[in-house]
Amino acid sequence: MANAMLLPVLISFLVLPFSAMALTQDFCVADLSCSDTPAGYPCKTGVGAGDFYYHGLAAAGNTSNLIKAAVTPAFVGQFPGVNGLGISAARLDIAVGGVVPMHTHPAASELLFVTEGTILAGFISSSSNTVYTKTLYKGDIMVFPQGLLHYQYNGGSSAAVALVAFSGPNPGLQITDYALFANNLPSAVVEKVTFLDDAQVKKLKSVLGGSG
């Protein structure tokens, strides 16, 4: 019993020195020449002011595509200064009639701030499949919890723009439609797991570039 009670104390003494070292390091700008790891990129040497600055969100994204929307990221791969800080950003442009299909960010929560236009957005809880939707106007914000399926689409008559903040330097992205229909998963399998018929599956695979 005494040994069992001492174990958490011993673990605390082992962990605290590493926590203290982490707190004394102001930042760790990513060395993008190295591989990413679960703990982030290694720190690069020769850091300058430019590592903490990014102009990439100033220009509108190209919405001339199937979904009429564009996401311009400022993740660690584009903005090395966010490495290890637990944050990143993006710009979202949605043309009239555009949509960001149902998707998830497995590694971060999302905070969306509308700067222009009208965006209809929502997410689905994992426990009860409850849908939470809202129409967002200029100046509105909405949060999308980490890992939950969510979507956005333009609900107005003009282009919509939003700035997005994430609670991680590399939030990840999986779009449900592309996961199902833009790969080589056999149509017969897709039909079984989605309850769609063969013609529907093959049509979606054709539109999204899948095979099988």
Please measure the distance between the N-terminal and C-terminal CA atoms of the chain and give it in whole angstroms: 59
For the chain, the average pLDDT equals 91
Q: What pTM was estimated for this model as a whole? A: 0.85
Q: Which pLDDT score is estimated for 125?
A: 98
Are the CB atoms for 161 and 118 separated by under 8 Å? no
Q: Which pLDDT score is estimated for 13?
A: 43
Q: Which pLDDT score is estimated for 25?
A: 83
Q: Which pLDDT score is estimated for 19?
A: 42
H helices of 27-133, in order, are: none
191 annotated ligand binder: no
Residue 20 host element (H or E):
helix 2-23
150 annotated ligand binder: yes
Instruction: Collect the ranges in the chain with pLDDT lower than 50.
Output: 9-23
Which domains are delineated in the chain?
A: 66-172 (2.60.120.10), 178-208 (no CATH)
Q: Which pLDDT score is estimated for 142?
A: 98
Residues of the chain by 3-state class (helix, strand, coil), percent to 5: 25, 25, 45
How does pLDDT run across 173-205, given as a tens digit for each residue? 999 999 999 999 999 999 999 999 999 999 999
Tell the burial category of 26 from Cβ atoms under 10 Å away from its Cβ (0-12, 13-18, 19+).
Answer: exposed
